[in-house]
């Protein structure tokens, strides 16, 4: 892990933290989802780190905050967040990250740096369209799309050149 993690560019972290939690609150009002203490704290942890975190890493944090310290505690909270579009699961890394475009209809597209493991989430509407077309050729009804791109982030590409 490195210090390149918070996406690949500087950003106002207070703003994105606020946006995500605000969106969650809205779902509480609008859809009646239950943002219980564990779930809320789990989301806060993901947002505050702003990177892909393993379930056991999240679990450690939760335990430190006085929640249960057994795997299901973390997995259940994470699953809940994913189900409601507040977080994503990044299969390639067996990890989770808060959704940084909450509410927007989008198929998450993850840019995963192989050097520093930073993960950026990009909007992907044109990609989604292309995917739908490919699926249509197989008479396949799309429900969820997960796109994971492996490569090198600008920071690490720069590091490599310096050597």
Beta carbon nearer to a copy of itself, 29 or 144:
144
Please report whether residue 73 would count as binding DNA according to CB under 7 A: yes
Burial class (CB in 10 A: 0-12, 13-18, 19+), 125: exposed
Binds DNA by CB under 7 A, chosen from 2, 6, 60, 67: 67
Residue count of the chain, please give it.
Answer: 163
* Residue 34 binds which of DNA, a copy of itself, none (CB < 5-8 A, kind-dependent): DNA
Please report whether residue 94 would count as binding DNA according to CB under 7 A: yes
Site string for a copy of itself, 120-159 (x = CB under 8 A): x-xxx-xx-xxx-xxx-xxxxxxxxxxxxxxxxxx--x--
Which neighbouring-strand residues pair with 95? 90
Site string for a copy of itself, 68-107 (x = CB under 8 A): -----------------------xx---------------
101/28 Cα distance (integer angstroms): 17
Instruction: Please state, in angstroms and as integers, the Cα–Cα distance from residue 131 to each residue in 106, 128, 140, 149, 161, following that order.
Output: 12, 5, 11, 15, 35
Of the candidate spans 1-9, 68-76, 108-116, 137-145, the one that interacts with DNA by CB under 7 A turns out to be: 68-76
Site string for a copy of itself, 11-50 (x = CB under 8 A): ----------------------------------------
Which neighbouring-strand residues pair with 109? 122, 147
* Residue 101 binds which of a copy of itself, DNA, none (CB < 5-8 A, kind-dependent): none
Provide the b/e sequence for 43-57 (b: ≥16 CB within 10 Å). Answer: bbbbbebbbbbebee
């Amino acid at each position: 892990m490195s210090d390149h993690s918070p996406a690949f560019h500087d950003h106002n972290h207070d703003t994105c933290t606020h946006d995500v939690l605000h969106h969650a609150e809205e779902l509480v009002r609008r859809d009646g989802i239950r943002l219980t203490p564990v779930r809320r704290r789990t989301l806060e942890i993901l947002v505050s780190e702003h990177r892909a975190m393993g379930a056991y890493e999240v679990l450690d944090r939760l335990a430190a905050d006085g929640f249960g310290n057994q795997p299901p505690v973390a997995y259940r909270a994470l699953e809940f967040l994913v189900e409601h579009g507040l977080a994503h699961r990044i299969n390639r890394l067996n990890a989770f990250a808060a959704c940084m475009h909450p509410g927007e209809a989008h198929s998450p597209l993850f840019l995963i740096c192989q050097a520093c493991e930073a993960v950026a989430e990009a909007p992907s509407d044109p990609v989604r369209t292309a995917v739908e077309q490919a699926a249509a050729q197989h008479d396949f009804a799309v429900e969820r799309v997960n796109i994971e791109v492996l490569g090198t982030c600008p920071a690490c590409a720069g590091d490599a050149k310096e050597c």
